[in-house]
Amino acid sequence: MISQQAAASIRGQRKEGLASKFSTDKIIVGNKFLFLQRNENDLMKKLSDTEKSSLGEDTRLVLAGRNTDETFGFVNVPPFRGSTVVYKNAADCMSRRNRYTYGRKGNPTMDALQDAWSELEGAAGTVICPSGASACTTALLSCLKAGDNLLIVDSVYRPTRDFCSNVLTRYGVTITYYDPMIGAGIEKLIQPNTRAIFMESPGSHTFEVQDVPAIVAVAKKHNITTLIDNTWATALLFRPIDFGVDISINAATKYPSGHSDVLIGLIAANEKALPALKATHGDLGVYLGPDDIYLTLRGLRSMPLRLREQGANALEIAKHLAASPHVKRVLHPALPSCPGHEFFKRDFKGSSGLFAIILNAQTQKQAEVFLDTLTLFGMGYSWGGFESLAIPFDASDYRTATSFNPGGRAIRLNIGLETPKDLIADLDRALEAMAKA
C-alpha cells in the first residue's frame, strides 16, 4: 500500500522539477493503488482531422495510434500484458465502469494499432485477429447466417475458400463462386438470399484485378454486404472503404508487420458493418497477444518505405522476366497483359512486391531445377517480408467458376528489399539451368 507520505513525497519531487514534463499530473491515492490522473497537457500536439488530412501518408502513419500524453512521453506504446483488470471500487466493478474491463476486450496496445489502422483505412473501426485467415473467417461470420447465400470470387485465397466450402456449408450457408472478371455481371448471380459478396483484388496467385466499383454498385442496389481481402495492396495503394466496400480485410502478417515474425489479421469496417463485426469478434473470443501487436505497430511505421521499395523492385524484375525466352507469361497487375489491368490503372496508386510467372517448362523436374538453383530466394509460404521468396503453385485443381490452364509451371515470387540486379541475376541463372534440364 502506498502511504499518504509517499504520495506527498512524489508531489514534492514533481514540484522540485524532477519530472517537470508531468508537473500538471494529479496523484490520487486509492485503497491499494496509486493512480495518475493526467490533465490535457501538450506532450504531443493534437492534430485535428482537417490538419491530418493535409499530411502525407508517411507522416500520418508515423503519427497514427500514438499519444505520448498516455505513455509518459515515450514514443511507442509498450506491450500491455494482462488478463485481469482491477477496479477502484465495488460500484465500478459491478457496472463495469472502467476504460478496460478484461484483457481480451482491450488494452492500450490494441487501441494503438486499431486506431492507426482505422485512420489508414478511413474506417469507422478495426478489430484484430490472430492471423489473416482468422480475419477472413471472422469477417464472413459477422454478416452471414444459416440459409444465406455468399458470392465469393473464384481466385480467392485458398484457406478462405476452404473455410467457405468446409465450414460455412455445414451451417447452412450456400456458396457461389464467380469469375473475378465478372464486374457488373455479378447481378445475374444474385439470389433472394444472397447476403454478402466477397472480393479479393488482385486475385490470390493469379492476380486478376476486379472491377470493385461495379460490384459494389450492384451490391448496394440489393442491400448486400461487400467484403474484400486487400492484403496485396494495403490501404496505402487501394482504400476499399473509399470505393464503398463495407469490410476491408488485411493479413497484416505481410506488409504491416513486414518482418516474417508475426501472424496477425486486421479487419476494418464502415459504420454500417462495424457493430456486427465487433459483436462477432467478441463472441468468438478472438484475441492476439500484445507482443505481436507491438511488433506490428513497429512495422507499420516503415510500411510506406518498404512497400514503395518492394513495389519498384518487383516491377523492374517483372518487366525483365517478361522479356525472357524462358518465361511464358508474367502475372503482374501493373503490366498490360494482366487481366483487369485497366481497373488497376484506374483504382490503384501503385503496386506491391508480389506477382507470378508462368515458366516455359512442362515438367515438375524443370520447375524443381529452377527453384533449387535460386540462391537469393527462399522457398516458403507467406510473403510481404523483407526477404525474397519463390513457391510453385497450381490453381487448376480447385477453381470451379473459371479454369486455370497456364501452359507451363507457375511460380509465385515475393520480391524483398535486396538489390534488384542481384535478384535478376539469380533468376536468370535459375532460368538457364531450367532450360537445360
Note if 21 is an active site residue. Answer: no
Confidence tier at 8 by pLDDT (50, 70, 90)? low
- Catalytic residue, candidates 21, 26, 52, 104: 104
Confidence tier at 3 by pLDDT (50, 70, 90)? low
Rounded CA gap, 236 and 80, in Å? 28
Residue-level pLDDT at 45 = 66
Residue-level pLDDT at 9 = 52
- Catalytic residue, candidates 254, 306, 409, 412: 254
Note if 278 is an active site residue. Answer: no
Span 119-144, mean pLDDT? Answer: 97
Note if 115 is an active site residue. Answer: no
Rounded CA gap, 250 and 120, in Å? 12
| The one-letter amino acid at 111 | D
For residue 302, with 0-12 CB atoms within 10 Å meaning exposed, 13-18 middle and 19 or more buried, which class applies? middle
Structure-model confidence comparison of residues 276 and 37, the more confident one: 276
Structure-model confidence comparison of residues 211 and 32, the more confident one: 211
- Measured from the Cβ of residue 422, the count of other Cβ atoms closer than 10 Å reads 12
Among 30-34, 230-234, 377-381, 420-424, where is mean pLDDT lowest? 30-34
Closest CA to 350 of 395, 385, 305, 383: 305
Span 304-329, mean pLDDT? Answer: 98
Span 112-124, mean pLDDT? Answer: 96
For domain 103-298, the CATH architecture is: 3-Layer(aba) Sandwich (3.40)
Among 55-59, 179-183, 294-298, 395-399, where is mean pLDDT lowest? 55-59
Q: Find out if CATH 3.90.1150.10 is the number for domain 304-436.
A: yes
Closest CA to 126 of 291, 295, 297, 258: 297
Residue-level pLDDT at 202 = 97
Note if 15 is an active site residue. Answer: no
Beta carbons within 8 Å of 220's beta carbon, 6+ residues apart? 244
Pinpoint the residues of the chain covered by CATH 3.90.1150.10. Answer: 304-436
Tens-place pLDDT, residues 190-245: 999 999 999 999 999 999 999 999 999 999 999 999 999 999 999 999 999 999 99
Pinpoint the residues of the chain covered by CATH 3.40.640.10. Answer: 103-298
Beta-bridged to residue 29, according to DSSP, are: 34
39 has a pLDDT exceeding 60: no
- Catalytic residue, candidates 111, 179, 229, 426: 229
- Identify the three-state secondary structure at position 117: helix
Looking at the chain, the whole-number percentage of residues with pLDDT higher than 70 is 90
- pTM value is 0.87
Confidence tier at 44 by pLDDT (50, 70, 90)? low
| Mean pLDDT of the residues in the chain | 90
